[in-house]
Chain A
Amino acid sequence: MPYYLVHAGSDLNVLAPAGTWQGVSLPSGVTIANSRRARMALLNRMVVIVNAPSRNLQFDAETGNAYLLSLVPAPATAPTLAEGAAGEPSGTYRYVVSFAIMQGTRVLTESAWSPIAGPITVADKQIDLSSIPTSLTPGVNARRIYRTANNGSEYFLVTTISDNTTTTYSDNTSDYDLALIGASEARGVPPGADSTDRAVLITAWKDRLWVVGANDPDTVHGSGNREPYVWPANLQYVANPPGEDATGVTAFMARRDELVIGKRGRVLKMIGDTPEDFTILTIAEGHIGPWSQEAAIVVRDTCYWLAEDGVYEYGPNGLVNLATTDVYPWFTTDDYFNRALWDQAFMKFNARFNQIELHLAAAGSTDIDRWVSYDLSRRRWLGPHQTAAFTPTAGAALIDSASMNQPVMGGDDGVIWLQNQSTSLDGTHSIAIDWLTPQFTMNTPDIEKYFGQLALIHGNEGTGSVVLTPYPGDINATASVPYTVSLNTDRQRLARVGIGRLLALRFDQLSSDTNFRLYGLELPFHELGRR
């Protein structure tokens, strides 16, 4: 059964689908910030956690144990090389050494390589290594020795010394045997390996992790292939132009064949399959880039993100602003939402309704207390929505006990709230509706009309009511006498509405714990003429 990692306040917790949870025991000296969101990615059974921890963490998905991602410091000295007894090696070789923490044969983490030892040239002789460095770091229980092939530049793993005390080793490995296991990617460390920098973004793509650091937010660092603790120094790519703004890269979105890299001022993508052909290209420029990692998601290989002037979609159909048709003012004015908090927005996918849900702050609010939903089938918006039960602080598409999509919101109350529940309550709180129609013109906006008895067709909920308030009149019409619509039947004919050129309807004050399914309405009217 799956489970979840939850960053709550200054804690990192493990949460089961049944709702039980407990804290994750952190490595000594590591703390979790309550002012930055943890960002996580999964590679080879390890969840790597950045941004919130004081140092990058990795969490073993199979055992629930947390470790430091990187092992520092690396060996400061190289081993000493000398020709040994008769043996297999024949050629010119170089060596490097790393420290490691291993669990059986599994490497949990490994340091960067030592300075290079050599070259040493031998002919059918073993090579004796001495002064192999040992580590003062608690937990180090192995050293790993790497060697080139004859005159080579790539390093291959020769052996693992399964202790932190032995300082000598005699290498009798032939080049042929050495190459059987393939060359190792250079060991290094990412931003956030120590307190001098912090990894702020992370994602998994092409069997590698990718991060951006706080000190150089324009550079994307890649990990080793299926090795979350390996960060080759040559696997770094600049999302050009560097120094364009203070935020640099703001979001990753991993598609099948490209890693979309968002900056506020532009959108780029990395393509390629190997360190030799990874390349960053520009998709589009202008203020169309993502404002936060949490408000940038990928659904079915298509990216969606909150940008300065709307929500953008990037996928097989190109780049589209989804807001311009109907809800552009939501994103381009201060009338609906507090745009100063764009960088705190978050987005998730709700599979049951095939919609993305974008959480924003209401105008004037300092909390992310509203959300809007975009239906990917209709390509239309609903909202803004809200809840009285809590103030949302995070959202995610989790997976339930059957590994199916389960959207959730996290609250300021320390609770994870399951969406798509069968009740019509948020916890014990009513769900307040406010549905306002446009002003119906009957295609004759200049003609005064008499609106007769309004018939509503709706679902029979067995109980409860909703209030319908008509607004007959002109463009500035005020509310007329409201109707209380009983929901214990499926159709009601209401009293006569009144006179006006236009008519709008508003539904609100829905009874607590009551659904409301509105199917349609019929409204007879009589044109009275032009006044």
Chain B
Amino acid sequence: MPGKFDLYAFGEAGVNVVDSVVHVATNQLRIAQNAQWNPIGEQKGLCLRPGMQPLNDEAMDGPILALFPIPFPDPIVPVPPTVATLAYIASDGGGGYLWRQSEDGTTWADGIPVPEQPTPWFSQAGNTPDVSGRTIWRSSISNFFAFDGDANTKLFGLDDIPGFGSLAGHTLTAARTGLVLVAATLDNAGDQAVALYDFSSGQFTLAGGPAPSLGAINDRIVTAGSTVWLVMTVSGYDIVYRIGLEGGSWEAVTTTEFPTTSGILSIGLLGSDVYVTTRSSTAGGAVWKWDGAEFVQQGVAISEGTGTRAINWLVALGGAWYAHYSANSLSKIFVSVDDGANWTESLDVFGTVSPSAFNAFPTVHKGCLVVAFSTGIWRLDGTWSEVDSTDPVGAWGGFGIA
């Protein structure tokens, strides 16, 4: 006897592994691996489940164990994944050019020496901006370099800004994607300039015109939005200037040194706010934040020890401020969890390294504060630990992540 079996509700009743072979409904399935009912124009049929794609390009350090959505604006500007793979520390090494690198921030190994190294060839004070995935280094002799962390090669050697002579004593900071800001403190013509270098075009663009004064910048420069803030030492005073990246002119936002201070050691950003750190032989090292009209001291100064007492740099990480503080025969990391209202000692470097070696270059690598001191590299991951005790001939200098 002829018959015809039509089934147009294929799998509509889902999986059934309960009923017997002669009782199970024809529109059920025994197995439905990677099957999906699709209510978006495909209802009543059965289709392949949609695929999955990675959200994070760079894998996290371990299996994912928990996830939690936070319905607030993301307050953190993450380190780009491509920037968090390798951390580099270089040393002038007294001619040794020691070069250490790490992927996890804990295990460090010698890197391959960079070809065509000038002498000295490292940047100062950790001013090794990342631009388009390249860690940019500069020599204090003649030109600056783009260092490709993967290829371990020198990519650029730029000699001058057109019309302003050679780049003597310049400093660097990242401006925006693909651009590096070059602040030249002195040039052959006796002028100063702040310029953008565009890697894609190989061209310089002056920002703000020639500088109004002469004086050293010494890496005290930061980009805040479309404005560059820098500190220039003029006639013995450290003056803070602003310059528009897209035009505008130089503007002095302070006229003399801060009250009770004798110098600005660093300038940076706390969120979107510009801050400076200062030194003083009387008032101690302090943090000052721009409130829109003036720099206002935050909390209290650190005044431990004797001599000129200074906050050399500040790193805001998580809920805390970490400050490198130095005085006579003293080099410590202090921490504040209340915006400088109270400072507590986090790491006493003096007991670990030579008292004469106060150089300390910080970076944040994979969420941890890493500091290169002259005789070792320390990492704060809940607690401080010395993760590399390699002792270069000279001091460590420069710190980059590529």
Contacts and interface: CB of A to CB of B under 8 A. Distances in A.
Contacts of A486: none
A168 interface: no
B12 A438 contact: no
A11 interface: yes
Given A16-B74, A382-B15, A416-B56, A5 B68 contact: yes
A101 interface: yes
Interface stretch (B42-50, B131-139, B200-208): B42-50
A177 to B, nearest CB: 28
B32 A61 contact: no
B253 interface: no
Contact of A15 (B5, B55, B369): B55
A399 B71 contact: yes
Interface residues of B, number: 96
Interface stretch (A25-33, A90-98, A180-188): A25-33
B61 interface: yes
Contacts of B63: 8-9, 34, 393-394, 410-414
Contacts of A5: 66-68, 70
Interface stretch (B75-83, B177-185, B350-358): B75-83
Given A24-B318, A40-B68, A432-B34, A517 B45 contact: yes
A2 B80 CA distance: 18
Given A21-B60, A141-B341, A438-B26, A421 B53 contact: yes
A243 interface: no
A38 B70 contact: no
Interface in B15-40: 15-19, 21-22, 24-26, 28-40
Q: Is the interface of B mostly helix, strand, loop or mixed?
A: loop
Contact of A415 (B3, B55, B382): B55
A397 B67 CA distance: 9
Contacts of B66: 5-7, 37-40, 52, 294, 394, 396, 410
B54 A440 contact: no
Contacts of A384: 31, 33
Nearest to B320: A25
Nearest to B28: A438
B7 A417 contact: no
A426 to B, nearest CB: 5
Interface of A: 1-11, 13-17, 19-31, 34, 36-40, 42, 45, 47, 52, 60-67, 101-103, 138-141, 164, 294, 324-330, 336, 352-354, 373, 375, 377-378, 380-387, 389, 393-399, 403, 408-427, 431-442, 445, 449, 457, 459, 475, 502, 504, 510, 514-527
Interface of B: 1-19, 21-22, 24-26, 28-40, 42, 44-76, 78-81, 84, 317-320, 335, 337-339, 341-342, 344, 346, 364, 366-369, 381-383
11 contacts: A7-B66, A19-B55, A23-B366, A28-B383, A34-B63, A36-B65, A65-B318, A138-B335, A381-B15, A414-B59, A438-B21
